Amino acid sequence: MDPPAGPSLGGFDFDLLVIGGGSGGLAVAKEAAGLRRKVLILDLAAPSTRGTQRELGGSTFNKDTIRKFLQQASLLGKAIQDSNKYGWRFIDDVSHGWSDLVEAVQGKVKARSLELKRELKSCGVFYLEARGEIVAPHTVEVNKKQSLTAETLVIATGDRPYHLGIPGDKEHCLSRWMNCSVMLFDDLLSLLHPPGRTLVVGGSAEGLECAGFLCGLGYPVTVMLQPDLLEGLDQKMAQKIENHMLVAGVDFICNCSLTKQVSRGRLSVTVVSKEGQTKQDDFDTVLLTVGRKACTSGIGLERVGVQFNQDTGRILVNEKDQTSVDYIYAIGSVQHGRPSTTGLSVHAGTLLACRLYGGENTLCDYTNVPAVVLTPLEYAACGLSEEKANLMFGKDNIEVYHNYYWPLEWTLPARNKNSCYVKVICYIPENDRVVGLHIMGPNAGDVLQGFATAMKCGLTKRQLDATVGISPSSAQVSILFLSLFHKNVWILNQKSVPSVFDTY
């Protein structure tokens, strides 16, 4: 498909040219086209080393689709175990079919990609499955064959994995990211046979999600932390997630590094501890989740003077998502020093188009961004971790309300009573303003969403206390139940037993 002929409103070939088909790039393109601008998206990423093809939508969009399906597969297995207490009886033994799951998920991802392409066409966005490289100011070369000009450029190319740089890591491991695609999950689902005994290298959110999913399907899983568990998130919550996964059967290896892998039917992995002791073990599958780097090499940023971090490839932007070159913007995980979620990228892309072409001036707020980790026991967070709150405001200015809770649907099958947990972090000098909210429990992301809006509006603990809960619901027994108890409350007829609804 050749780009359409005819100049844009400003005399260029296009008003807006987006390099990369990530969720933020799609959002800015569709919004700009709706504002009657001529828009082109160039999106081509090489397949992974295992040959997995990348679909339109970028790493975050496709990853979110896959990770939700995989979590649901694991949760359904647990629900089948609970169903006996709810009166269900199965004539035959229930088993999981790996190939059936792979076929269904891959089919849905491809269908969503086709749906996105149809949506772009209906919005009037021109789309080329082609590689774009900036070769001169306002000029992009397409597949090294044709040059196109645009008044404004947006970079939305996503990110890729770090490799460990050890023998066998590229040949035998499944990578979390490769060339802007969702390679941990996509490559895992490219396996025609079940993954078997699996080593997950790295304690990232995606690594823990995959470990929890595989464990839920009955496969032996070991997680090697590289370097920490859920780095950047609340560490007390991370510890609780680790404890829950340990109880579920996931093994963890700490303070060790991976040195080499040799394929002999199975992957023989050598692990070295900090003390220098070596241990060798065999796995059927090794998943790398040790970090990521923005896919910004080879797209010509240096030619026009766009500043970016040399180590991570991430682009430096200002509060307007604008790079050091005034007509070039960056959206999504290619930005340096900012959070990255699908929802945030879509929001930022939409606002960028409205500022460029809609006469608006609303900036994207990169604070209090809600996020979710789809481990079997879901974890959702908005705002500051306890560690960051103490560092930012001082420990004496922070009050932490916390509580274990027991979802009603868990009581009949008698699941663990002290697994689900909620924590509310308040800044005392500003009327106990809520600066951090953390939930670990069923549908935690759904529970948190409305409270994220309230936090944007300056939610205080007093307002939380005044909120009426919906009964029966997880939100009521988790966050809103906290409002019934204030600091230093004592219960059980005022005996010397502290309430579980307590503060630090």
Q: Which amino acid is at 456?
A: K
Cα(370)–Cα(381) distance, integer angstroms? 6
pLDDT at 497: 33
> Are the CB atoms for 14 and 139 separated by under 8 Å?
no
Name, in order, each residue with C-beta under 8 angstroms of 89's C-beta and a sequence gap of 6 or more. Answer: none
- Please report, for the chain, the start and end positions of each structural domain, with discontinuous segments joined by +: 14-161+293-358, 169-290, 377-484
pLDDT at 256: 80
Integer-rounded Cα Rg, in Å, for the chain is: 24
Cα(185)–Cα(207) distance, integer angstroms? 10
pLDDT at 465: 87
CATH class of 169-290: alpha beta
The two most distant CA atoms of the chain are separated, in Å, by 81
CATH-assigned architecture of domain 377-484: 2-Layer Sandwich (3.30)
Q: What is the pLDDT along the chain (504 residues), one digit of tens a residue?
A: 455 555 555 689 999 999 998 899 999 999 999 999 999 999 976 555 555 566 676 656 677 888 899 999 999 999 999 999 999 998 888 899 999 999 999 899 889 889 999 999 999 999 999 999 999 999 999 998 899 999 999 999 988 766 666 555 555 555 443 322 233 555 788 788 898 999 998 888 989 999 999 999 999 999 998 777 898 899 999 999 999 999 999 999 988 877 766 665 567 788 887 777 888 888 888 888 877 788 898 999 999 999 999 989 999 999 999 999 999 999 999 999 999 899 999 999 999 999 999 999 999 999 999 999 999 999 999 999 999 999 999 999 999 999 898 999 999 999 988 899 999 999 999 999 999 999 999 999 999 999 999 999 999 999 998 888 888 887 776 666 565 454 434 333 333 333 344 565
Q: List the strands of the sheet with 285-288, edge to edge.
A: 174-175, 285-288, 198-203, 221-229, 251-253
The number of angstroms, rounded, from the C-alpha of 223 to the middle of its chain's C-alpha atoms is 18
pLDDT at 264: 58
Strands 420-427, 266-273: parallel, antiparallel or unpaired by DSSP?
unpaired
Instruction: Please check whether the two domains, 14-161+293-358 and 169-290, share a CATH topology.
Output: yes
pLDDT at 59: 59
pLDDT at 70: 93
- What superfamily does domain 14-161+293-358 belong to in CATH? FAD/NAD(P)-binding domain (3.50.50.60)
pTM here is 0.88
Q: Which amino acid is at 102?
A: V
Q: Which two tokens stand for residue 195?
A: 């993954």
Q: Buried b / exposed e across 399-435, counting CB within 10 Å, b at 16+?
A: bbbbbbbbbeebeeeebeeebbbbbbbbbeeeebbbb
pLDDT at 494: 31
Cα(291)–Cα(311) distance, integer angstroms? 12
Cα(90)–Cα(110) distance, integer angstroms? 34
Backbone φ, ψ for residue 84 (5° rounding): -60, -40
